[in-house]
Amino acid sequence: MKKLLQVSFICALILCGCGSKPAVSGNDTPVVQTKPQATVTPAPTAAPEPYVIACDEFGGNFDPLYAGTSSEREIASLLNASLYDISDRTESTAADGTVSYEFTLHEGVKFSDGESVSPEDVIFTFYLLSDPAYRGSNAFCSLPVKGMDEYRVDSRSLLELLLAAGAENTQFGYFTEEQQTRFFETDLPKAGADFAQSIADYCIANDIITEIDSIDSCPIANAMVNWGYGLLSADGSVTGQQSGSVWTMQGSAVPSARDFYEEMLAAYKGDVEKMAEKEKADKELTDFIPEEYKRTVGAGISAAKIAGVELSESGSVKLTLASADDRAEELMNVPVLPLHYYGDPDYFDPAKNHFGIHKGELGAVEALTSAPLGAGAYVLASSDEESVRLEGNPEYYGETPEKEVLVYKAVPTEQRAAAISAGVVDEALMPATKELLENPPEGATLSLEDMDAYDYIGFSAERFAISGNSASEESRALRKAIATVMSVYREEAVEAYYGEAAVLIDYPVAADGRDRIPADDPAYETAFDRDVKGTPIYNEGMTQQQKEAAALKAAAGFLEAAGFTFEEGVITGAPKGAKLSYEVMLIGGGVGDEVSFQIVADAAEALAGIGLELTIRDISDPAALAYALEGGHAEIWCGSWEEGTIPELMKYYYSECRNANMHRIFDDELDELIRAEAAEKDPGKKDSLYRQVLDVLMDEAVVLPVDRRQAARLTR
């Protein structure tokens, strides 16, 4: 009976809903019987789970023009589409050697606000990146684009024009007399004093002090003495090295920040630009110059357009290089930016040489760094000091990304492995360590990548100056003797300290992260593997013990060439200017916690056998080593360069860079090569000059590369 009732009920539902006819009243007017319809509420869609990536801190610049940190640059790449991704490209070479590229945009590509990407956007982007006022990291303007130099030539900032004119200038074409007076009498001196104060603050923060109470109580006086601009007298007074002014350090007779600045300026004969280039601590003089002086003003003779950037009749964008360039493949692939957002569409008219932006006026563009707009796979949903949230771009032309929501979360490096373990983040990149590789977080996948960070052992050429000449063959031979013995112990030490978390290197890592001499290059040589005659020290198949003996024998040969005397294989005398004992400084916390500690210890034991002593000074305070290097007191030291701080040739190896030239090299040949490398634009020639610089550095024997560190990428 129960089953029958169920069937009857179901049939009634079918009749009512599918085949029933409307009832008819007595007057034949159809009456439709209705009943309330149930409202079906769809099940709520679960919000996409964000994929959280641990990253460094960020300053809020997420557009591709000015993104500074590695995290910001990565975020910017996801918010924008690059030219190659959204266009087809053809290439042709003319008889005159010019190379032309035509870019035809794909159909349907849009920015995240729904506006279509157009050829005008590409041209606008080229001009923005070529503007003389652009100060970001994109190097598009360094390509030999036809007409690029003419467009950028003599377009200078107000600061450059004022400094070039000087305080006594009487010609006012690009600035007023009032501006000139205000700059030289008020704004520049104030910036100079603030800059000098920053050096004083740097010295105190890094414990670079004289340890004389009357001096250290005045940070400016302390900085002047330590920076080489104040002479400390026996009576406790400080005398300006340039001006001869004397400050007794009693009462108000103390130097001011303005005094310090004027002493520095006097050392460079009033050349502000040269002083600003050479003198700096953690900040530069230009950091204190008001922004109004950094705007590009120009000098009236630059071209109104870039001849090699054209919009063809077919609607493609044509880019012509005056000559082939190995970097073109990389540098042409610019992020395409929306003219309607970053520029002025009403000011785009190529026939009038208008390209969407007023030359030299990028203030409006710079104001949008924290609110980017692009055509990438993601859009910036929100950001604060701790995290940045990216969500999928609904207008994206490509395939929908696998992760709908990305969150970049600022997590200190030392906390990232724990954050992976706790499930706080899904991906993290950090310096690899032997412990991390041996015990990765549970449930995490680990892979290794090269870091732009390396360890080295440095020598001060000035401290190895036989007969007073640090560049002589004898002085070089002395340094090579020690470096040769140290070199043979590197591999075992790196393996013991880092395991697979670092790889042995034989050349310093380049400032831009590239390996200028790859390991498979025929010109590649192991560091310090030849004797005084240039003959290879090692033979294939040698054991480590045999290599150590061969290295020590080669060292003895170098020492003899340096002027040391031997009897029965042991040193009996040193030449003038040389010693029988040298000190090695390293930051090992007093317990040898430094990769090069074992290298130095093993080398010390080996060299002791022939009568040359190496003493190890293991310190805990990095500032103590910094002070010794800046003052030129260190003989040999174990150092490292972290990502983002790889030394530039001009800054760290050029003889005129006072405090930065830690190796104290005074080599005219090296200086000439460094100047040429800095000025060279052709990438092939630049690499060749860089190699020559490395060859001189190795011949000077002032740096022994040790290892290049690896980064560990952890994913859950």
Per-residue pLDDT reduced to its tens digit, 180-234: 999 999 999 999 999 999 999 988 888 788 888 888 889 999 999 888 888 888 8
Q: How many structural domains comprise the chain?
A: 3
Task: Determine the pLDDT at residue 10.
Answer: 32
Confidence of residue 517 (pLDDT cuts 50, 70, 90): confident
Cα–Cα distance, 100 to 102 (Å, whole number):
7
Residues 502 and 639 in one domain: yes
Q: Which residue has the tokens 């500032």?
A: 623
Residues 594 and 487 in one domain: yes
Residues 283 and 308 in one domain: no
Q: Is the pTM of this model over 0.85?
A: no
State which H helix or E strand residue 270 sits in.
none
Residues in contact with 534: Cβ distance below 8 Å, sequence separation at least 6, in sequence order: none
Residue where one domain finishes, among candidates 353, 368, 383: 368
Residue 284 has pLDDT above 90, yes or no: no
Task: Determine the pLDDT at residue 154.
Answer: 61
Structure confidence by residue, pLDDT tens digits, 585-612 = 999 988 999 999 999 999 999 999 999 9
CA angle (438, 444, 449) in 5-degree steps:
70
- Greater pLDDT, 80 or 313: 80
For residues 577-581, average pLDDT: 95
Residues 674 and 580 in one domain: yes
Q: What is the three-class DSSP state of 439? A: coil
Residues 705 and 592 in one domain: yes
Report yes or no on 458 lying in a domain. yes
Residues 661 and 548 in one domain: yes
Core vs surface per residue 92-127: b (16+ CB within 10 A) or e:
eeeeeebbbbbbebeeebbbbeebebbbbbbbbbbb
Residue where one domain finishes, among candidates 327, 350, 368: 368
Task: Give the structural domain span for 683.
Answer: 452-715
Report yes or no on 356 lying in a domain. yes
- Greater pLDDT, 77 or 691: 77
Which segment of 145-154, 576-585, 660-669 scores lowest on mean pLDDT?
660-669
Residue where one domain finishes, among candidates 267, 291, 315: 291
Long-range contacts of 330-333 (CB under 8 A, 24+ apart): 331/139, 331/140, 331/142, 331/143, 332/83, 332/84, 332/101, 332/140, 332/143, 333/82, 333/83, 333/84
Residues 348 and 255 in one domain: no
Residues 281 and 310 in one domain: no
Report yes or no on 457 lying in a domain. yes
- Mean pLDDT, all residues of the chain: 87
Residues 553 and 485 in one domain: yes
Report yes or no on 13 lying in a domain. no
Report yes or no on 521 lying in a domain. yes
Nearest-CA neighbor of 450 among 493, 394, 395, 513? 513
Residue 8 has pLDDT above 70, yes or no: no
Residues 223 and 339 in one domain: no
Confidence of residue 625 (pLDDT cuts 50, 70, 90): confident
Asked whether 286 and 158 are in contact (CB, 8 A), the reply is no
Residues 220 and 242 in one domain: yes
Residues 205 and 228 in one domain: yes
Report yes or no on 182 lying in a domain. no
Report yes or no on 179 lying in a domain. no
Residue 484 has pLDDT above 90, yes or no: yes
Nearest-CA neighbor of 513 among 558, 469, 449, 565? 449
Kindly report the CATH number assigned to the domain that includes residue 489.
3.10.105.10
Kindly report the CATH number assigned to the domain that includes residue 137.
3.90.76.10
Report yes or no on 667 lying in a domain. yes
Quote the strand ranges of 371-524, DSSP E: 378-383, 387-392, 405-410, 427-431, 445-459, 502-504
